[in-house]
Amino acid sequence: MKPLAPDDELWGALDEGALLTEILDDFYTRVYADPDLSPFFEGTDPEWIRQKQYSFLHSKFTGQDTYFGNRPRNAHHWMVISHELFDHRLDLMRRCLRDAELPPRLVERWIAYEEVFRKQIVKPAPVPLKVGGVPRPLEGLETLVIEVGSLCDQCGEPIDQGQQAQYHVRTGALYCTSCRPLSYS
C-alpha cells in the first residue's frame, strides 16, 4: 500500500480543520442512524469516534504526527466488512462532502485517502489484533490493570486508574470487577 502524500489544498479547503469538524459531525450523525453501519458503533461515544477520526484524517491530510490510535487494520480487526459495505460508507461520505460544498476534485481526493485502506478493512472474517507484530487471540477475556480511568461497558460505572478490569480481546469491551460480560460473541 502506497501512502498518499499530504494535501495542502485539501486541508486549506477544509478551513484548516474547521470544515473537517462539520463534515465529521454530519457524517457520524448519518452513520449512527444508518441500519447497516450503526451496529459497528454500538456502545461507542459518537464524540470520541469523531475526535479519533479527526485526528487520523488531520495526520493524513497534513503529514503531521497528530494521531496516536490504532491503524486501520487493528482498529477494524474484529469487524467483518464487505466491499459493498465499504462502498456504502464511501457513498455516505461523498454525500457529506458534497453537502459541505467541497469541490468535486477534492471530494475524490478525500475518497482516494479512504481507498488506500480498503485492503486492511475489507475481509470475510475477523483477524487477530496485532500488538508488536504478534497476533492476539480473537476470543476470550483477559485481565488488565487500568492505566487511564475508563468506564465499564456493561454497567457504565467508572473504572479508576490502578484498578483491575477484564476486556474482551477481540471487541475491546471493558468490564469492571463487579460485572461479568453477558456475552462476548
Local structure of 111: helix, strand or coil: helix
Instruction: Give buried/exposed letters for 136-151 (b at 16+ CB in 10 A, else e).
Output: eebeeeeeeebeeebe
Domains of the chain: residue spans and CATH? 8-130 (1.10.490.10), 139-175 (no CATH)
The pLDDT, as a whole number, for residue 89 is: 98
* Distance in angstroms (rounded) separating the CA atoms of residues 77 and 128: 6
Predicted local distance difference test score (pLDDT) of residue 116: 94
Q: What is the pLDDT of residues 76-127, one digit of tens each?
A: 988 999 999 999 999 999 999 999 999 999 999 999 999 999 999 999 999 9
What gap in Å lies between CA 156 and CA 165, rounded to an integer? 13
Low-confidence ranges of the chain (pLDDT < 70): 1-3, 180-185
pTM for this prediction: 0.77
Give the per-residue pLDDT at 1.
Answer: 46
